[in-house]
Amino acid sequence: MAAVLLATSTACSAGKTSSRSANSPTIQPPKDFRVTFLSEATNIVHGVAISSNGERALTSSVEEAADPPHGSVSLWDLSDPLRPRASALIPDRGGTALKVALSGDGRHAVTTNLRGELTLWDLSDPSNPTSRRLAAKRVTSLALNYDGRYAISGGDEGVHFWDLTNPNQPRKEMLLGMGKYSTDWYEVAISADAKRALVSHQSGNGEGGVMVYDLSNPANPEGYSLIRNADYHSSNTVALSGDGNTALVGYHHWTTYNNFVTYWDLRTWDKTELRPMTGWKITPDTGGSVVQWEIALNHDGKRALIAQRNDPAPKDEPNPPRSEVQLWALDTLAGFPRFSPTG
């Protein structure tokens, strides 16, 4: 089991990724490494993103239930995973960033607010970031490739692939149209070379699943069904490693209300459903207040950011659960149970 979990390929599919950016952080974490580097009072929703080398991360903290909503974005230095250091990117102002995306090189970011509007950030000089608004609306999830030239977004208008080569004239193409239910939603991820994308679709009646898109020819993208929702399991969030070989998929169970995260080795997938997909459940069944996970992976799939998204707790709750963001070293963990949504 451990050999399968830890054998993520280190081959770099993004030709521009340096050997340093494809490696793990300089300081190696100990066995069974999971550290909470952000912990806040309940009713806070987090967005998470991580760079290819795992040394830079972006987190958003938004209190949606506040009137007006408010939140902030922090840029993290994780070069020493035992001593994460944060600096404010966007100060507390009007729920600025519900979701965040970070390019693999750590130099570009995108944030989306509660209205689904997008903002592009240049982080070349982290002490003096610059921003520009991107013409978009009702976006609920997004991801950037290694150099920030391409992006993928999901929202009320479906799933789109963005060409940001010229930020003054961004172009987008639809990959997947909007669903037939008003409650349909999409979560997205993209590889470092922008040639593979991962999309989870959950419809109002629990149908959907996870799609893989081959974007080698952006003018003619090819979509494949990787995992179908089944046995009351619905995928509701995804992360993809920069090399495109590893995926994390968050699940919700419609009868037990449990939520958990699964790990998938995509090197065994051959663009067919003839061979049943099997992953590993890496978080325990968590019901109660947890409604969704926010997840992100570095280039080789060995470092992950995992955050719980909680239901707002009643104001009179004496001991509400805290909202946390954890850094996981997946290559130091083992012993997870197998998981297949088809039983």
pLDDT at residue 15 greater than cutoff 60: no
Which CA distances in Å does 276 have to 122, 269, 343? 42, 9, 10
Q: Which fold has domain 2-6+33-339?
A: Methylamine Dehydrogenase; Chain H (2.130.10)
- The C-alpha atoms of residue 246 and residue 291 are separated, in whole angstroms, by 23
> What residue segments make up the domains of the chain, in order of their start?
2-6+33-339
Coil/strand/helix, residue 122: strand
3-state helix, strand, coil in the chain (%, to 5): 5, 45, 50
Give the pLDDT confidence score for residue 54 in this predicted structure.
Answer: 95
Give the pLDDT confidence score for residue 296 in this predicted structure.
Answer: 97
pLDDT in tens, 93-114: 555 678 899 999 999 999 988 7
Give the pLDDT confidence score for residue 104 in this predicted structure.
Answer: 97
Which CA distances in Å does 95 have to 45, 167, 293, 309, 325? 10, 24, 19, 16, 18
More confident residue, 323 or 143: 143
The whole-number average pLDDT for the span 169-183 is 78
More confident residue, 88 or 198: 198
Q: Name the nearest CA neighbour of 53 among 32, 73, 26, 93.
A: 26
pLDDT in tens, 285-298: 776 666 778 999 99
Q: Which of 70-74, 276-280, 294-298, 304-308 has the highest mean pLDDT?
A: 294-298
Tell me if the bond preceding 68 is cis, omega within 30° of 0: yes
pLDDT at residue 330 greater than cutoff 50: yes
The whole-number average pLDDT for the span 260-277 is 79
Give the pLDDT confidence score for residue 159 in this predicted structure.
Answer: 92
H helix runs in 11-117, sequence order: 19-22
